A and B are shown apart, each in its own frame.
Chain A
Amino acid sequence: MTRSTIELPVTADDYRIARYAAAAIALTVAEAALPSPLPGIKPGLANIIVLVVLTRYGWTDAAWVSLLRVVAGSLVIGQFLAPGFFLALAGALCSLAVLALAQHLPPRVFGPVSASVLAAFAHIGGQIALARIWLVPHDGVFYLLPLFATAALVFGTINGLVAARLLAIPVTAAVTSPATPSSVKAAP
């Protein structure tokens, strides 16, 4: 491989965000292979990563991971700039906005499950709002709202439980220490 002539300074934060984003993208791609009963109803497994990052490293990192996931994930599955991409983006932006508020909930009373369920509802809210404004020019989309809300509740709870379980384990050295540049270059 030709050695790059430009060197971009990369911080440990960048590596960490990139690694979590890669995990989120992998889950997005895996999920794209699952059949869906209705367009728009998906487990949203990548949001587990977003929740973990939100709790461990704060909202800014979570926003990076979430938006990188939307952009890169759509590139990988060939949806970039297709309607599905904009719906996912609207959902991600809305759920990030709600998570920005939800992270201020008292942590003694509310855990990741609350954040996950709230974010899931915001996600479908954003998607349905965009679909109504842009794709479906009548109120017929709201007819599907109960189904989407049920899916959001179910998958939001499951994702939140998985995130809570992951967060219940103490952070290992592997997660906190920055990846060395050599290990990153070794990756194919």
Chain B
Amino acid sequence: MNERIPDGLRELLAHATAAGHLPWRRLLKPGDWLLLVCAAALVAASYPLLWRGGVADRAIVRRDGQLVTELALNIPRKYAVAGAIGTTVIEVQPGRARVLSDPGPRQYCVQQGWLTRANAVAICAPNHVTLQLAGRSGQNGAYDTLNY
């Protein structure tokens, strides 16, 4: 068995055994610590930077495909839209939005609940009203809609 291990690897294994109980801490020099901290900070920063595309920052309300209003997702408020068969009420809270009430018979868009991700959409078809969330401009232009 030992014969099949390449010489170089066998030497390294022998060395590793010979090292005994050298504390790991002593293998790190001050510059290493500095570099590790900087690298960890960069890695941590890369998560929000690269994954922010999925975060919505405004709600777009349309009637018959025509823009009715854009609501920023940072202040809680309610907004009523007059549609084809009645009034749809949109509720906005920080970071999310939903259709609070709708005159449609099956209430699909109401039951969809809170929308939180960019490009998520709730469609109240009978009333011709849609609620869509949008992320940072242009970031998600590749998708028409996302559904979860």
Contact = CB atoms under 8 A, between A and B. Distances in A.
Contacts of B39: 117, 121, 153
Given A49-B12, A113-B36, A146-B50, A169 B19 contact: yes
Interface residues on A, range: 35 or more
A46 to B, nearest CB: 10
A138 B6 CA distance: 42
B47 interface: yes
B28 interface: yes
A114 B38 CA distance: 11
B1 to A, nearest CB: 13
Interface string A103-119: 00110111111100110
Interface string B45-81: 0110011000000000000000000000000000000
A108 B51 contact: no
A159 to B, nearest CB: 12
Contacts, number: 105
B39 to A, nearest CB: 5
A165 B31 CA distance: 17
Nearest to B47: A146
Interface residues on B, range: 20 to 34
Contacts of B29: 108-111, 113-114
A169 B18 contact: yes
A145 interface: yes
A117 B7 contact: no
Interface stretch (A15-23, A73-81, A90-98): A15-23
Contact of A111 (B8, B15, B22, B31): B31
Contacts of B142: 138
Contacts of B28: 111, 113, 161, 164
A150 B45 CA distance: 11
For A106, A109, A110, A114, the residue with the greatest tally of chain B CB atoms inside 10 Å of its CB is: A114
A166 B16 CA distance: 6
A52 interface: yes
Given A49-B12, A112-B27, A162-B16, 16 more contacts: A19-B11, A22-B9, A23-B9, A26-B9, A49-B8, A108-B29, A109-B29, A111-B27, A114-B32, A117-B36, A153-B43, A164-B28, A166-B15, A168-B22, A169-B15, A179-B7
8 residue pairs, one from A and one from B, having the closest CB atoms: A22-B6, A23-B8, A109-B31, A23-B9, A110-B31, A164-B27, A19-B8, A113-B32
Interface of A: 19-27, 48-49, 52, 105-106, 108-114, 117-118, 121, 138, 142-143, 145-146, 149-150, 153, 157, 160-162, 164-166, 168-169, 172, 174-175, 179, 188
